[in-house]
């Protein structure tokens, strides 16, 4: 591949990087060039080799073959500490904080200020406070990490890396747990760092972030470098094609809408006190999209249907039968909820794939309290093949799977219940474009078999590509339900921000 020239001095240059794990080759002649003060996006599907490549740069792994130059000198870090001393810091996708230590102790771990050989606690807290101020992070330095939210922990991890004052900062999915305003703060910090000459390697699956933040992008596929481009000269569709060899449009399943009998009916639903109640119907073989800004009430609607959000009022009927306000009653009626946070609410990560898949049907798979392992294996293998869950063994811990395969395990757990209504809350968040494509086609198959689906997504391209009808919520209130032909991004956003009512009248 011909190298793309960029009008800044080179900070990092790698060539011909190879890496194997046993007999599996994860990197093959991969290369990357990063210039001073740029945000260089590293893009590719899960398994493309991005994280492995970056772990080699940060000293967590060693390459089997290839060369690395950093600041004009040969660079082969054997440990993360050696890489940090040379000016490279990495924020891993999985948090590396110590829960029982304070926020300040985590930020300055290994570089604590001392006085007469004893840690200077006052100085420690002051330095940590300064590091957090740079991220507009208002957390007391003495607060234990285990008492922080996931988003706060992610920001502490970023503050820890910033405190090292690196020349090259590697960020692997840094916004996965962050709210929009926290993402805005992080982007401002990154731009300020780049203005001072710091370079950033940024790994993300979020195309809007990539296009808004990055200067250049290097695309990887199957452990190889495919292309490097200026982001101003490319677009989302081209980048997806480079990653997976097909366009976004080609990923969406083409199907004819064959709406069947009414499956679900909501009556007089109120998501927040004082709002006008609304009714809703869902039909067999239909995908009903739910759009709205963050905090609008999309998740509350799904949780009400599933019997979790008892604060919302109204009734839920499945096939004209009233369903009690409890998840157990919802499951018995054929309703399944795939939650937004699969790791916290959808899976038991420390348990095996087999245990997670079986969790919803232990009644069917056991006799007198004992698991019928032969029946379990037969049933789970069937769903593993049907959903193409990629794991060498069902006994593997679920935490070791990719995001896309974890999501398939959640889905398999519910399909084992023979559910009729599937509630999906941000089901493709945090999974790569290849896994998304598989998920879309799997969803199309389920709907073709008569499943009724309510689909919440913040990705309007995805939502409008899948939904037969799109329901739009604004601040807990139903603003409109649009048919496929009327559900344009402009119409949906107009309703979502409250600038038009359900009839298209400007407010």
* Residue where a domain stops, chosen among 202, 222, 246: 246
pLDDT of res. 257: 61
Residues 468, 411, single domain; the answer is: yes
Structure tokens at 117: 């050989």
CA distance 210 to 419: 37
In a domain, residue 505? The reply is no
Say which residue the tokens 């590697």 belong to.
Answer: 170
**Is the confidence at residue 198, as pLDDT, over 50?**
yes
Residues 328, 219, single domain; the answer is: no
Q: What global pTM score does this model have?
A: 0.60
Domain count, the chain: 2
Residues 450, 334: contact at Cβ < 8 Å? no
Residues 210, 262, single domain; the answer is: no
Tell me the per-residue pLDDT of 334-367, one tens digit each, with 9 for 90 and over.
999 988 888 888 888 889 988 888 888 888 877 8
Tell me the per-residue pLDDT of 289-302, one tens digit each, with 9 for 90 and over.
999 877 788 888 99
* CATH number where 187 lies: 3.40.50.300
Structure tokens at 271: 């998501």
Residues 177, 280, single domain; the answer is: no
- Of the listed ranges 16-30, 72-86, 189-203, 468-482, the least confidently predicted one is 16-30
**Is the confidence at residue 322, as pLDDT, over 90?**
yes
**Is the confidence at residue 271, as pLDDT, over 70?**
yes
Cβ-based neighbours of 120, under 8 Å, separated by 6 or more: 112, 113, 114
Q: How many other CB atoms are there within 10 angstroms of residue 12's CB atom?
A: 21
Mean pLDDT of the chain: 85
Residues 172, 51: contact at Cβ < 8 Å? yes
In a domain, residue 5? The reply is no
Residues 69, 93: contact at Cβ < 8 Å? no
* Residue where a domain stops, chosen among 246, 277, 293: 246
Range of the structural domain that residue 376 is part of: 251-496
Cβ-based neighbours of 463, under 8 Å, separated by 6 or more: 289, 291, 455, 457, 470, 492
Residues 266, 169, single domain; the answer is: no
Residues 365, 464, single domain; the answer is: yes
**Is the confidence at residue 506, as pLDDT, over 50?**
no
DSSP class of residue 352 equals B
Residues 241, 302, single domain; the answer is: no
Tell me the per-residue pLDDT of 218-266, one tens digit each, with 9 for 90 and over.
999 878 999 999 999 998 878 877 876 655 555 566 666 677 899 999 9
pLDDT band at 68 (very low <50, low <70, confident <90, very high): very high
Tell me the per-residue pLDDT of 161-184, one tens digit each, with 9 for 90 and over.
888 888 999 988 888 767 777 788
In a domain, residue 503? The reply is no
In a domain, residue 218? The reply is yes
Residues 211, 268, single domain; the answer is: no
Residues 138, 279, single domain; the answer is: no
SS3 327: helix
In a domain, residue 506? The reply is no
Percent of the chain with pLDDT over 90: 33
In a domain, residue 376? The reply is yes
**Is the confidence at residue 200, as pLDDT, over 70?**
yes
Residues 214, 135, single domain; the answer is: yes
Residues 137, 176: contact at Cβ < 8 Å? no
In a domain, residue 420? The reply is yes
Residues 181, 281, single domain; the answer is: no
Residues 168, 294, single domain; the answer is: no
In a domain, residue 22? The reply is yes
- Of the listed ranges 253-257, 323-327, 329-333, 336-340, the least confidently predicted one is 253-257
* Residue where a domain stops, chosen among 246, 275, 297: 246
């Amino acid at each position: 591949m011909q190298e793309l020239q960029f009008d800044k001095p080179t900070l990092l240059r790698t060539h011909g990087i190879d890496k194997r794990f046993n007999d599996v080759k994860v990197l093959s002649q991969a290369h990357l060039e990063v210039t001073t003060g740029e945000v260089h996006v590293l893009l590719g599907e899960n398994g493309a080799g991005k994280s492995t490549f970056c772990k080699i740069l940060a000293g967590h792994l060693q390459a089997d073959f290839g060369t690395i130059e950093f600041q004009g000198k040969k660079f082969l870090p054997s440990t993360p500490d050696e890489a940090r001393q040379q000016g490279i810091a990495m924020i891993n996708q999985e948090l590396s904080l110590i829960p029982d230590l304070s926020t300040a102790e985590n930020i300055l771990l290994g570089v604590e200020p001392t006085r007469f050989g004893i840690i200077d606690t006052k100085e420690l807290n002051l330095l940590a406070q300064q590091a957090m101020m740079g991220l507009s992070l208002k957390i007391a330095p003495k607060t234990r990490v285990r008492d922080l939210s996931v988003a706060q922990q992610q920001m502490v991890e970023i503050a820890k890396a910033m405190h090292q004052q690196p020349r090259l900062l590697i960020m692997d999915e840094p916004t996965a747990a962050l709210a929009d305003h926290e993402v805005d703060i992080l982007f401002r910090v990154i731009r300020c760092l780049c203005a001072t000459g710091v370079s950033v390697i940024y790994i993300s699956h979020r195309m809007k972030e990539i296009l808004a933040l990055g200067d250049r992008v290097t695309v990887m596929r199957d452990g190889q470098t495919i292309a490097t481009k200026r982001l101003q000269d490319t677009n989302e569709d081209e980048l997806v094609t480079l990653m997976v060899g097909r366009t976004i449009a080609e990923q969406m399943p083409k199907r004819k809408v064959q709406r069947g009998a009414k499956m679900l009916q909501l009556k007089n639903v109120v998501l927040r006190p004082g709002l006008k109640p609304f009714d809703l119907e869902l039909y067999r073989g239909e995908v009903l999209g739910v759009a709205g800004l963050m905090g609008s009430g999309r998740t509350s609607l799904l949780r009400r249907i599933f019997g979790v959000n008892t604060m919302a009022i109204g009734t839920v009927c499945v096939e004209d039968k009233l369903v009690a306000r409890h998840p157990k009653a919802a499951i018995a009626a054929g309703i399944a909820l795939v939650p937004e946070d699969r790791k916290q609410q959808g899976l038991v990560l420390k348990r095996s794939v087999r245990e997670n898949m079986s969790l919803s049907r232990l009644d069917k798979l056991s006799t007198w309290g004992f698991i019928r392992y032969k029946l379990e294996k037969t049933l789970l293998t069937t769903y593993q093949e049907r959903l193409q869950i990629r794991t060498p063994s069902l006994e593997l811990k679920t935490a070791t799977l990719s995001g896309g395969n974890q999501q398939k395990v959640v889905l398999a757990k519910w399909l084992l219940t023979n559910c009729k209504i599937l509630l999906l809350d941000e089901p493709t968040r945090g999974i790569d474009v290849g896994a998304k494509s598989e998920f879309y086609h799997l969803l199309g198959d389920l709907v073709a078999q008569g499943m009724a689906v309510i689909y919440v997504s913040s990705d309007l391209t995805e939502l409008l590509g899948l939904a037969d009808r799109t329901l739009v919520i604004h601040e807990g209130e139903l603003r409109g339900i649009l048919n496929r032909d009327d559900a344009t991004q402009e119409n949906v956003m107009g309703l979502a921000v409250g600038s038009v009512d359900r009839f298209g009248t400007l407010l």
